[in-house]
């Protein structure tokens, strides 16, 4: 199966949902997205960072420097309250959307 | 706000020694190192692992730049991106975009022209603190006011009044003859003026001084104030012009019936450029003798107009007024009733029409954008589903609207500029307008219009955007093309009906206005108006006596002798705009006069009919036997003969003006001559011999085969040879004279034509847009119908049938509205313009019907050509 290009809005959603449970650094977020999507989604790893900076500017996530698992300085991201709220909205929106797309595609 | 906090935070970090750049680099390095180490873990060697890590990261500099962008220029960048996206979106529907931009641009342009025009024409007499200056009038017991009083009464009043700090009186619209300045005696527009001008108007002379009460003494020598314009043109802006001596004569100094005589005059000063009265004035003189003057006065500090009026009401007893008027007192009013009322009537009509056109433009753009937004419903829903926020979408729509408004401005502003300069050139020819009126592109008007178009575009873009933002993605995606076609159908039909009705009403009004205005702007002369030179010879100085007529006849003899002149004649009134008089024919049986009709009233020398190529059709022209003391005779035009004596010959019949006038006997009938005075009914005109009349001046009419302007110098020389003090004025060809007369109606006519055409174009675009859109919306349905065997003809009927019915209904509604609205307008213009023939109405209706129908027809043809296979596949 060919890899899907990721649209900007979707990438934001993916990042937010990755951070749902715990704070993570950028590399870990990239790894998680790739692993969870079963490597279906093609994301150039670098393109993650503008998304992170954007979400940070929008106040949906916050960043702090900390120690990584291999004892290096790394920047950790976590959801803010606004980010959590947005995630819930986007998820329900996405569910309805994908349902709609599925019903159209399969009903056609 | 958020950006500000972010900036402050960045500042703080930088101050702490950790820049954004360093943080970013460290984060990226961390990522690459982690990836490389994972790669090594899966068995790559160190070099390959590093390279592979960089490859999977993607374009390094691109990422860095994107990160920087996200932080720094967030807002601007987003807007620019929106603009780029918006531009692409606009360009995806180029026809629609062009239509919307054009509609808005033309609307903005025309509205700006109109506003600049209104502001220019409504410009006031340039006075400091004009609200403190009052015009003093005589209030009559009968309820009306006289705007002029005698110079002597003014001087008496001035000596006793207490409410005003400065007062001035002037008498404008006269002429002055100046001899000894240059080769020929010259004539200039002149006005009389008293002391007090500087204080009342709040100006000071450019050079020298203004008049003082000393100049008002009956024995004071003639003193001259030059306008700054004539100072530059005739005196080369010479600094030593003050004190210069001239010989001049003007009726502003006349006493009694003997004509004004030349006297020594001294230039005392030059007025500033803004010093102007309503009529163009080159020479201001210290008038004396019997003069009627307009009085203006500046309120003393602290005195209110009501207080002044209370004092004025007690004054004015014994003022010289016409015998039928009884003086109640004096009264005051604001200065500056502005431009002439005839301009105002036209302007208010035009203004209404233009506002209508602008409204039509806005409605159209609104419709087009709404249609477009509906069409893009799916696109917007998709973008929302992909994470675009509502705010984003709304901003996107706003940016697109602003782009559209920008396009409109690019069309509208040059249009406004061109329109205004065209109008200004036309109006500059009109000498009857107040001199301070100059048209220029009004920055405020253009800015205001641009703002209007922006608001219109925003409103038109915002409503659909807000609606789209509430779109339920699920429903929108499912609905697709089938979606709102039913609801839209009604909306679209409503729009078409509204538009064609509005266009019809607007076009009818402007069409009638146009007909009325352009009716006066053609001169269909049997002679070549370019080849007839006119020149005014004023014989004022000869007084009101037969010697004035003899002097003019002498001038005629001299002019006829000028080489190149083929024929020459005299006429007492301008050949293109004669006076009109109400005349009544004499009933042959009872001797009483019947109902009067209005006819042009001209006084001519016998050669007139030959020069103007109006052959005598019956009876005879004038001869030298028609002289003073003989039987009063007249030649009437064919039109007048038809009007008064339709079934028998006019020759030998009699008619007269008022009861006091003698009966005139018709001795001949001549062919009709065109004039711009349409008060006269159907070419009705009558001509009296100049030898039987007393007139103070006359136009020389010279028909020539050579270039007419080359005759001016020989003509001046010929007249000088017989009276060196007699100036030759107003030297124009008939065509030039006519151009000046009709300059204003012509300019307004052009404006009205532009409005009418753009109203029509806008409506057509709107109708086409709406119909086209609803046809596209129903393509699938049409495809199915065609697939099921509908013929192209059925398809055309389907789309056109109801449209045609609606068209008929809205045309009737529109023409009714237009007809009713044009009634008061045409009534107010009576006497100014010609009658509107019924055919004009029919033509206008036909034009609207045809253009509306073709706007409906084109999409219908498209529907008829539907290829079912292709349409269904596309869906």
Q: How many CA atoms lie within 13 A of A67 on its CB side?
A: 3
Residue B829, pLDDT score: 55
Compare CB distances from B67 to A11, A49, A59 and report the shortest one's residue: A49
Residue B480, pLDDT score: 43
Q: Which residues of B349-374 are buried (b: 16+ CB within 10 A; e: fewer)?
A: bbeebbebbbebbbbbbbbbbbbbbb
Using the 8-state DSSP alphabet, how is residue B223 labeled?
E
Q: Do B27 and A13 touch (CB under 8 A)?
A: no
In which band, very low, low, confident or very high, does the pLDDT at B268 lie, cut at 50, 70 and 90? very high
The answer to whether B809 and B497 have CB atoms below 8 angstroms apart is yes
Residue indicated by tokens 């001084």: B209
Shortest CA distance to B174 belongs to which of B538, B695, B578?
A: B538
Shortest CA distance to B246 belongs to which of B161, B186, B301?
A: B186
Element (H, E) at B145: strand B145-146
Residue B298, pLDDT score: 93
Q: Which of B10-14, B38-42, B582-586 has the lowest mean pLDDT?
A: B10-14
Residue B130, pLDDT score: 79
Residue B711, pLDDT score: 86
Task: Centre a 10 Å sphere on the Cβ of residue B730 and count the other Cβ atoms it contains.
Answer: 16
Report whether pLDDT(B333) > 90.
no
Tokens of B113: 């022209």
| pLDDT mean over B804-817 | 76
Residue that wins the pLDDT comparison between B28 and B112: B28
| pLDDT mean over A2-27 | 76
| pLDDT mean over B509-532 | 69
Report whether pLDDT(B825) > 90.
no
Q: Which of A36-45, B163-172, B467-476, B765-774 has the lowest mean pLDDT?
A: B467-476
B478 part of contact set with chain A, CB < 8 Å: yes
3 state DSSP class of B177: strand
Contacts of B257 (CB under 8 A, 6+ apart): B543, B544
Residue that wins the pLDDT comparison between B284 and B725: B284
Residue that wins the pLDDT comparison between B188 and B75: B188
| pLDDT mean over A34-60 | 79
Residue that wins the pLDDT comparison between B774 and A63: A63
Residue that wins the pLDDT comparison between B149 and B803: B149
In which band, very low, low, confident or very high, does the pLDDT at B473 lie, cut at 50, 70 and 90? very low
Rounded to whole angstroms, how far apart are CA atoms B311 and B167? 15
The answer to whether B297 and B133 have CB atoms below 8 angstroms apart is yes
| pLDDT mean over B436-458 | 73
Q: Which of B285-299, B408-422, B643-657, B665-679 has the lowest mean pLDDT?
A: B665-679
Report whether pLDDT(B429) > 90.
no
Residue that wins the pLDDT comparison between B547 and B624: B624
Q: Which residues of A20-31 are buried (b: 16+ CB within 10 A; e: fewer)?
A: eeeebbbbbbbb
Residue that wins the pLDDT comparison between A9 and B268: B268
Report whether pLDDT(B479) > 50.
no
Measure in Å the smallest separation between the Cα of A4 and chain B Cα atoms.
14
Contacts of B747 (CB under 8 A, 6+ apart): B422, B423, B426, B427
Report whether pLDDT(B740) > 70.
yes
Residue A4, pLDDT score: 46
3 state DSSP class of B569: strand
Report whether pLDDT(B342) > 80.
no
Per-position DSSP letters for A35-102, written without gaps between them: HHTTT-EE--GGGHHHHHHHHHHTTSEEEEEEE-TTS-EEEEEEE-HHHHHHHHHHHHHHHHHHHHHH
Using the 8-state DSSP alphabet, how is residue B718 labeled?
H
**What mean pLDDT value characterizes chain B?**
77
Residue B266, pLDDT score: 92
What percent of chain B is predicted at pLDDT more than 90? 8
In which band, very low, low, confident or very high, does the pLDDT at B517 lie, cut at 50, 70 and 90? low
Residue A1, pLDDT score: 35
pLDDT (tens digit per residue) in B706-735? 888 888 888 888 888 878 778 887 788 888
Using the 8-state DSSP alphabet, how is residue B169 labeled?
E
Rounded to whole angstroms, how far apart are CA atoms B726 and B723? 5
A-B CB pairs within 8 A amount to 97
| pLDDT mean over B492-510 | 71
Report whether pLDDT(B389) > 70.
no
Residue B666, pLDDT score: 92
Rounded to whole angstroms, how far apart are CA atoms A103 and A85? 27
Tokens of B130: 């004009």
B237 part of contact set with chain A, CB < 8 Å: no
3 state DSSP class of B261: coil
Residue B16, pLDDT score: 43
The answer to whether B36 and A93 have CB atoms below 8 angstroms apart is no
Report whether pLDDT(A72) > 70.
yes
In which band, very low, low, confident or very high, does the pLDDT at B14 lie, cut at 50, 70 and 90? very low
Shortest CA distance to B727 belongs to which of B234, B283, B186, B263?
A: B186
Q: Which of B382-391, B754-763, B764-773 has the lowest mean pLDDT?
A: B382-391
In which band, very low, low, confident or very high, does the pLDDT at B669 lie, cut at 50, 70 and 90? very high
Q: Do A46 and B58 touch (CB under 8 A)?
A: yes
Which residues of B628-767 form beta strands (DSSP E)?
633-637, 654-656, 664-670, 685-689, 697-704, 728-733
Shortest CA distance to B342 belongs to which of B745, B794, B835, B777?
A: B745
Q: Which residue of A has its CA nearest to B382?
A: A97
Shortest CA distance to B535 belongs to which of B804, B726, B320, B775?
A: B726
B55 part of contact set with chain A, CB < 8 Å: no
Report whether pLDDT(B174) > 70.
yes
Residue indicated by tokens 């000894």: B180
Q: Do A10 and B387 touch (CB under 8 A)?
A: yes
Residue B541, pLDDT score: 67
Residue B164, pLDDT score: 93
Strands B728-733 and B565-571 come out as unpaired
| pLDDT mean over B312-327 | 85
B550 part of contact set with chain A, CB < 8 Å: no
Rounded to whole angstroms, how far apart are CA atoms B767 and B745? 32
Measure in Å the smallest separation between the Cα of B409 and chain A Cα atoms.
34
B contact test, residue of A17, A42, A46, A97 with most B CBs within 10 A: A46
Report whether pLDDT(B510) > 50.
yes
Measure in Å the smallest separation between the Cα of A46 and chain B Cα atoms.
5
Shortest CA distance to B576 belongs to which of B739, B697, B728, B426?
A: B739
CA torsion, points B143, B144, B148, B153, in degrees to nearest 10? 0
The answer to whether B408 and B108 have CB atoms below 8 angstroms apart is yes
Residue that wins the pLDDT comparison between A92 and B382: A92
Rounded to whole angstroms, how far apart are CA atoms B556 and B606? 12
What percent of chain B is predicted at pLDDT more than 70? 73
Shortest CA distance to B200 belongs to which of B92, B81, B332, B75?
A: B332
Q: Do A49 and B63 touch (CB under 8 A)?
A: yes
Phi, psi of B457 (to 5 degrees): -65, -40
Residue B169, pLDDT score: 92
Rounded to whole angstroms, how far apart are CA atoms B31 and B26? 9
| pLDDT mean over B407-412 | 84
Report whether pLDDT(B348) > 50.
yes
Compare CB distances from B67 to A7, A50, A72 and report the shortest one's residue: A50
Q: Which residues of B touch A46 (CB under 8 A)?
A: 28, 57-60, 62-63
Rounded to whole angstroms, how far apart are CA atoms B615 and B49? 110
Residue B709, pLDDT score: 85
In which band, very low, low, confident or very high, does the pLDDT at B108 lie, cut at 50, 70 and 90? confident
Strands B263-270 and B222-226 come out as parallel
Shortest CA distance to B396 belongs to which of B448, B455, B458, B454?
A: B458
Report whether pLDDT(B3) > 80.
no
Residue that wins the pLDDT comparison between B487 and B678: B678
């Amino acid at each position: 199966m060919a890899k899907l290009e990721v649209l900007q809005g979707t990438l934001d959603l993916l990042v937010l949902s990755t951070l749902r449970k715990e704070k993570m650094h950028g590399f870990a977020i990239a790894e998680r997205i790739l692993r969870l999507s079963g490597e279906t989604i093609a994301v150039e790893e670098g393109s993650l960072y503008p998304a992170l900076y954007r979400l940070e500017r929008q106040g949906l996530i916050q960043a702090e420097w900390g120690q990584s698992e291999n004892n290096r300085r790394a920047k950790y991201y976590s959801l803010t309250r606004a980010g959590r709220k947005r995630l819930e909205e986007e998820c329900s929106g996405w569910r309805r959307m994908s349902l709609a797309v599925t019903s159209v595609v399969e009903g056609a | 706000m958020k950006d500000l906090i972010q900036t402050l935070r960045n500042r703080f970090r930088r101050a702490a020694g950790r820049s954004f750049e360093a943080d970013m680099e460290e984060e990226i390095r961390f990522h690459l190192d982690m990836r490389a180490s994972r790669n090594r873990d899966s068995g790559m060697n160190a070099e390959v692992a590093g390279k592979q890590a960089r490859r999977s990261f993607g374009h390094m500099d691109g990422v860095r730049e994107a990160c920087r962008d996200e932080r720094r220029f967030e807002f601007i960048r987003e807007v620019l991106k929106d603009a780029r996206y918006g531009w692409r979106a606009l360009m995806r529907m180029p026809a629609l975009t062009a239509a919307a931009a054009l509609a808005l641009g033309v609307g903005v342009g025309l509205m700006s022209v109109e506003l600049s025009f209104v502001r220019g024409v409504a410009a006031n007499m340039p006075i400091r603190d004009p609200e403190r200056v009052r015009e003093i009038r005589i209030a009559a017991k009968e309820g009306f006011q006289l705007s002029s009083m005698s110079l002597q009464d003014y001087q008496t009043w001035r000596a006793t009044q207490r409410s005003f700090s400065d007062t001035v009186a002037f008498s404008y619209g006269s002429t002055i003859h100046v001899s000894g300045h240059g080769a020929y005696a010259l004539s200039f527009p002149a006005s009389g003026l008293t002391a007090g001008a500087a204080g009342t108007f709040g100006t000071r002379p450019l050079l020298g001084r203004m008049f003082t009460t000393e100049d008002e003494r009956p024995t004071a020598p003639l003193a001259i104030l030059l306008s700054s314009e004539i100072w530059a043109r005739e005196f080369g802006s010479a600094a030593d012009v003050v004190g210069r001596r001239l010989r001049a004569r003007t009726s502003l100094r006349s006493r009694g019936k003997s004509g004004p005589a030349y006297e020594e005059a001294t230039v005392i000063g030059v007025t500033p450029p803004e010093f102007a009265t309503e009529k163009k004035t080159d020479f201001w003189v210290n008038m004396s003798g019997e003069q009627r003057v307009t009085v203006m006065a500046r309120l003393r500090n602290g005195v209110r107009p009501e207080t002044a009026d209370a004092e004025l009401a007690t004054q004015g007893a014994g003022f010289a007024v016409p015998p039928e008027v009884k003086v109640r007192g004096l009264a005051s009013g604001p200065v500056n009733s502005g431009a002439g009322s005839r301009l105002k009537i036209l302007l208010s009509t035009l203004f209404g029409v233009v506002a209508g056109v602008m409204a039509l433009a806005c409605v159209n753009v609104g419709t087009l954008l709404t249609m477009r937004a509906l069409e893009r419903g799916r696109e917007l829903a998709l973008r929302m589903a992909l994470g675009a926020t509502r705010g984003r979408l709304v901003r996107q729509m706003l940016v697109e609207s602003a782009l559209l408004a920008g396009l409109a401005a690019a069309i509208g502003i040059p249009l406004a500029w061109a329109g205004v300069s065209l109008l200004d050139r036309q109006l500059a020819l009109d000498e009857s307008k107040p001199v301070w009126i100059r048209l220029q592109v009004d920055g405020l008007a253009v800015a205001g219009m641009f703002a209007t178009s922006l608001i219109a575009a925003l409103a038109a873009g915002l409503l659909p955007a807000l609606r789209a933002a509430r779109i339920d993605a699920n429903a929108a995606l499912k609905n697709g093309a089938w979606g709102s076609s039913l609801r839209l159908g009604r909306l679209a039909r409503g729009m078409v009906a509204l538009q064609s009705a509005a266009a019809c009403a607007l076009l009818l009004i402007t069409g009638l206005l146009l007909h009325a205005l352009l009716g006066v702007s053609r001169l269909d002369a049997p002679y070549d108006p370019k080849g007839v030179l006119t020149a005014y010879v004023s014989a004022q100085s000869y007084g009101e006596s037969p010697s004035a007529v003899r002097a003019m006849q002498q001038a005629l003899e001299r002019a006829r002798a000028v080489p190149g002149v083929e024929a020459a004649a005299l006429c007492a009134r301008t050949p293109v705009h004669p006076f009109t008089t109400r005349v009544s024919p004499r009933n042959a049986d009872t001797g009483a006069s019947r109902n009067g009709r209005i006819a042009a009233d001209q006084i001519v020398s016998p050669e007139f009919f030959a020069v103007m190529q109006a052959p005598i059709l019956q009876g005879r022209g004038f001869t030298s036997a028609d002289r003073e003391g003989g039987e009063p005779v007249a030649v009437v035009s064919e039109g007048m003969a038809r009007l008064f004596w339709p079934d028998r010959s006019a020759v030998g019949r009699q008619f007269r003006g008022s009861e006091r006038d003698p009966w005139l006997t018709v001795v001949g009938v001549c062919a009709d001559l065109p004039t711009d005075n349409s008060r006269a009914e159907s070419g009705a005109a009558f001509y009296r011999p100049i030898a039987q009349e007393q007139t103070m001046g006359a136009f020389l009419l010279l028909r020539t085969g050579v270039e007419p302007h080359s005759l001016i110098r020989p003509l001046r020389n010929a007249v000088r040879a017989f009276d060196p003090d007699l100036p030759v004025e107003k030297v124009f060809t008939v065509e030039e004279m006519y151009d000046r007369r009709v300059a204003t109606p012509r300019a307004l006519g052009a404006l009205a034509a532009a409005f009418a055409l753009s109203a029509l174009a806008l409506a057509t675009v709107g109708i086409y847009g709406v119909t086209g859109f609803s046809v596209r919306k129903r393509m699938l349905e049409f495809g199915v119908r065609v697939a099921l065997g509908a013929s192209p003809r059925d398809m055309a009927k389907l789309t056109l049938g109801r449209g045609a019915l609606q068209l008929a209904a809205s045309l009737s509604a529109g023409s009714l509205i237009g007809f009713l609205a044009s009634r008061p307008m045409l009534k107010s213009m009576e006497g100014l313009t010609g009658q509107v023939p019924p055919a004009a109405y029919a033509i206008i209706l036909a034009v609207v019907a045809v253009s509306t129908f073709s706007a409906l027809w084109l999409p219908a043809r498209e529907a008829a050509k539907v290829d079912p296979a292709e349409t269904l596949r596309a869906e």
